[in-house]
Amino acid sequence: MRRIVSFMHVSLDGFVAGPAGEMDWISVGDKIFDFAAQRTNEADTALYGRVTYEMMDSYWPTAADQPNASKHDIEHSTWYNQVDKIVLSNTMKGVPKDKTTVISNELLSGKINALKQLPGKEIIMFGSPGATQSLMQHHLVDEFWLFVNPVLLGEGIPLFKDIKERVALKLVASTGFPDSGVVCLHYEKK
């Protein structure tokens, strides 16, 4: 069975974005990009909420073609253009793009469970706190890769919201990035 892996930056006090959706506090750099690239190579499907998908799709399809494209831009753009993309949205309209499927919340559990049964690699979810919360309500997230950033936001969009029951997790690994102070915590469901 394929696994759904949630890959998310989070503040030390549990927020994935500030009150207005700002993410300028997220620390990134070559070491984190290289680490993330190792993870994305384990996935052949990307899962997003609508907002994150629109942000990603406005940049990654042509990022490798830019004259100042970094190694990371080229690698991730290539990966993005090759993988299937699943968007969880009740409001996304328009002609679907190649390799992109939209799933509404009413069909979420059945469609995602069916997707997990298909042959393939991991299904990786970048950001998308609302989508993560929806999937968690249906017990569909198998692993969390949390990049804990050394900042307290005080308020914002929480990673975990409306959790109705206890979810036991097992720490698989932790990886520190001393240059930024970020720590990646890898948990899987027990």
- Asked if residues 189 and 142 have their Cβ atoms less than 8 Å apart, the reply is yes
pLDDT, tens digit, for every residue of 44-81? Answer: 999 999 989 999 999 999 999 999 999 999 999 999 99
Architecture label for domain 4-189: 3-Layer(aba) Sandwich (3.40)
Proportion of the chain above pLDDT 90, given as a percent: 78
Domain-by-domain residue ranges, the chain?
4-189
**Confidence at residue 185, expressed as pLDDT on a 0 to 100 scale:** 98
Please state whether 41 falls in left (phi above 0), alpha (psi between -120 and 50) or beta: alpha
pLDDT, tens digit, for every residue of 122-147? Answer: 999 988 888 988 999 899 999 999 99
- pTM of this prediction? 0.91
Q: How confident is the model at residue 111 (pLDDT cuts 50, 70, 90)?
A: very high
- Asked if residues 123 and 143 have their Cβ atoms less than 8 Å apart, the reply is no
Say how far apart CA 19 and CA 59 lie, in whole Å.
Answer: 23
Taking residues 153-170, report their average pLDDT.
90
Question: Which helix (H) or strand (E) element contains residue 60?
Answer: helix 60-63
38 pLDDT above the threshold of 70: yes
**Confidence at residue 95, expressed as pLDDT on a 0 to 100 scale:** 64
Q: How confident is the model at residue 169 (pLDDT cuts 50, 70, 90)?
A: very high
